[in-house]
Amino acid sequence: MILAGDVGGTKVHLALYGFEQGELTHIRDEKFPAQEYNGLDVVAKKFLAESGNPEVTAACFGVPGPVRHGRLKLTNLPWVLDCAELSQELEIQHLFLINDLEANGYGIAELHADQIHVLSEGDSSAVGNRGLVSAGTGLGQAILVWNGKMHVPMASEGGHCDFAPRNEIEIELFRYLQRQMKGRVSFERVVSGIGLKNVYSFLRDDKGMDEPAWLKERMQKEDPNAVIGELGEDGSNELCAKSLDIFVSSYGAEAGNLALKVLSVGGLYLGGGIAPKILNKMKDGTFMKAFTDKGRLSDLLVHMPVRIILESRAALMGAAAYAEARAAELSGRSVRAASVQFS
């Protein structure tokens, strides 16, 4: 059995996977509020105990940030994660830490057609590099390098690159955020859960768009991003609709930037939790217009497939696949291959 994890600043999502006929099979998963625990080992031990302490042959955790020499200090939690220490604590011989977007990238190969929405067909026969952009709590990016046989995910911190405004309203947004941040503005400050609230605040506070009392109350009592998404998609509130429009357009522009940088003729994938929740807005042309608006190279992007990952467990699936593959390399025995029965 494989233990997979997706570690975030607010929650830890753990899952157990097996294999049947060479395909991942989901056994059990659970989410834990990260702030309530002293470390990942404590969370994993609780999860495994609740699962009946199964025999785990390998484990992999997708983590937010660059992993160096099997070690990572989390930004939003007072945790230091170390492969060797976790392996010893959990008594799992083959245990790995990889970047969360890298895990998401490995998960793409495990997805079925109903777990992906095709935003733009492009040239689906083209083979080459892929790009992955995930707007969620933050803005994650990864490169899936085509090596002639398969796509190999490579971690990136591209979401922290400088925000590049493209028109007057975005220039004003940039200046507003520059004042708020007291300096540098990254793309994550616009294209993320934090970013959507920033855009909303800019339009309300700097541009003077009306926030009626009932909307202010909802923003205080409910998830602000969910409120903006709901009212922005159905067009029932101008402030939310404009916020969502700027957000999605900026998302498309930055996705197009990554597509150019890695020459993602094999497709551009959108991960993270936001895109599936505002799917109607993602489909209305705003995203693709910004994605393809690249001057002399626009035609190149028109022919790139763009796909939205609908499966919320994609990163867990990727972590599980990575754990099995690396454990097989080290042990000489593949659980995935052993699950295939030939008739």
We report the CATH number of the domain holding residue 169 as: 3.40.367.20
Q: What is the mean pLDDT of residues 127-131?
A: 96
What average pLDDT does the segment 69-94 reach? 91
75 and 52 in a common domain = yes
Structural domains counted in the chain = 2
Q: Of all residues in the chain, what percent carry a pLDDT higher than 90?
A: 90
Pair 172, 286 in one domain: yes
CA distance 72 to 15: 21
Residue 200 and residue 298 in one domain: yes
Query: Based on the domain organization, do 129 and 188 belong to the same domain?
Result: yes
- CATH number, position 87: 3.30.420.40
The answer as to whether 264 is a domain residue is yes
- Give the pLDDT score at 342: 59
Q: What is the pLDDT of residue 343?
A: 46
Q: Which pair of tokens denotes residue 290?
A: 């910004």
Query: Quick one: residue 48, left, alpha or beta (phi over 0 = left, psi -120 to 50 = alpha)?
Result: alpha
pLDDT in tens, 135-167: 998 899 999 999 999 999 998 999 999 999 999
Q: What is the pLDDT of residues 43-60, one digit of tens each?
A: 999 999 999 999 999 999
Residue 10's pLDDT is what?
82
Q: Are residues 304 and 327 in the same domain?
A: no
In terms of domains, do 190 and 298 share one? yes
User: What is the reported pLDDT for 147?
Assistant: 95
Q: Strand runs (DSSP E) across 21-135, as ranges?
A: 23-33, 58-63, 71-73, 80-82, 94-99, 116-120, 130-135
Q: What pLDDT does 66 receive? A: 85
The pLDDT confidence band at residue 2, using thresholds 50, 70 and 90, is very high
Residue 343 lies in a domain: no
Whether 99 and 160 map to the same domain: the answer is no
The verdict on residue 19 lying in a domain is: yes
Mean pLDDT for all residues in the chain = 95
Residue 244 lies in a domain: yes
Report the percent of the chain where pLDDT is more than 70: 99
Over residues 161-184, the pLDDT tens digits come to 999 999 999 999 999 999 999 999
3-state secondary structure of 155: strand
On whether both 80 and 166 belong to a single domain, the answer is no
State which residues form the domain around 269: 113-310
Average pLDDT over residues 103-119: 96
For residue 20, the model assigns a pLDDT of 92
Output DSSP code: residue 163: P
